[in-house]
């Protein structure tokens, strides 16, 4: 979500129901997002999502074990998060973020901690953009119930936006029957691309650490 800061610097609970009370046809497993197809077979998020039923509810393990109906899948939670941002709908984002969530945008020097701080950040993000600027998911992992990886880019009225490719990681937990984001990290395409200069910089820093190992304590 940090493409704005990067570009500027370079260009200027649902109610829980017992499974025993439901008919077999009501059992829900993980939900699948229905995504609108865009050019070059990339998936563009819409604000609406459609669940798909499965033959039987899958079992949850560790922290994700809940005694009632299985909550929304991790990939759907993350996809809904992007769809809500695309729709400028912060009220839909609220329940997707845990109260003590930590969000790291690597353009910023420190993370955003807590739902209020994160919502405030995305509120400013929405104010800085328009609905013509949309996140488009290129790929998203769907197998893990507690962690999701996403690669994405931005489009302005269907055309690629400069310096807007990114990848994100999200960790989720089931809290009070809802699967919520407890941690997120965004890595965004830099506006300035130093190329092999980075390798020289890494070599120089490594040499310094070998000579003065105490410097590592300052990082």
- How far apart are alpha carbons 136 and 190 in whole angstroms? 18
Which tens digits make up the pLDDT trace of 144-199? 999 999 999 999 999 999 999 999 999 999 999 999 999 999 999 988 888 888 89
- Residues 6+ away with beta carbon under 8 Å from 59: none
pTM: 0.65
- Give how far Cα 82 sits from Cα of 33, 50, 55, 140, Å: 12, 15, 29, 12
Could you give all domains of the chain from N- to C-terminal order, each with its CATH number? 3-193 (3.10.450.50)
- Enter the DSSP assignment of 209: H
Which of 77-81, 87-91, 103-107 is predicted least confidently? 87-91
Which tens digits make up the pLDDT trace of 127-150? 888 889 999 999 999 999 999 999
């Amino acid at each position: 979500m940090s493409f704005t800061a990067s570009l500027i610097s370079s260009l200027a609970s649902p109610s829980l129901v017992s499974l025993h009370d439901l008919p077999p046809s009501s059992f829900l497993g993980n939900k699948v997002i229905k995504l609108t197809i865009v050019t070059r077979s990339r998936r563009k998020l819409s604000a609406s999502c459609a669940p798909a039923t499965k033959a039987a509810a899958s079992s949850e393990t560790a922290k994700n074990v809940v005694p009632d109906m299985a909550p929304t899948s991790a990939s759907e939670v993350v996809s809904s998060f992007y769809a809500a941002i695309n729709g400028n709908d912060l009220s839909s984002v609220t329940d997707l973020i845990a109260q003590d969530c930590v969000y790291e945008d690597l353009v910023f020097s420190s993370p955003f901690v807590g739902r209020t701080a994160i919502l405030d950040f995305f509120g400013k993000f929405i104010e800085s953009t328009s609905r013509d600027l949309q996140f488009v998911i290129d790929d998203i992992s769907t197998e893990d119930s507690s962690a999701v990886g996403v690669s994405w880019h931005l489009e302005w009225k269907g055309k690629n936006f400069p310096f807007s490719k990114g990848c994100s990681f999200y960790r989720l937990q089931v809290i009070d029957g809802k699967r919520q984001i407890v941690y997120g990290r965004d890595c965004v395409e830099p506006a300035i691309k130093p190329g092999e200069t980075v390798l020289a910089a890494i070599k120089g820093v490594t040499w310094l650490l070998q000579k003065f190992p105490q410097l590592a304590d300052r990082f």
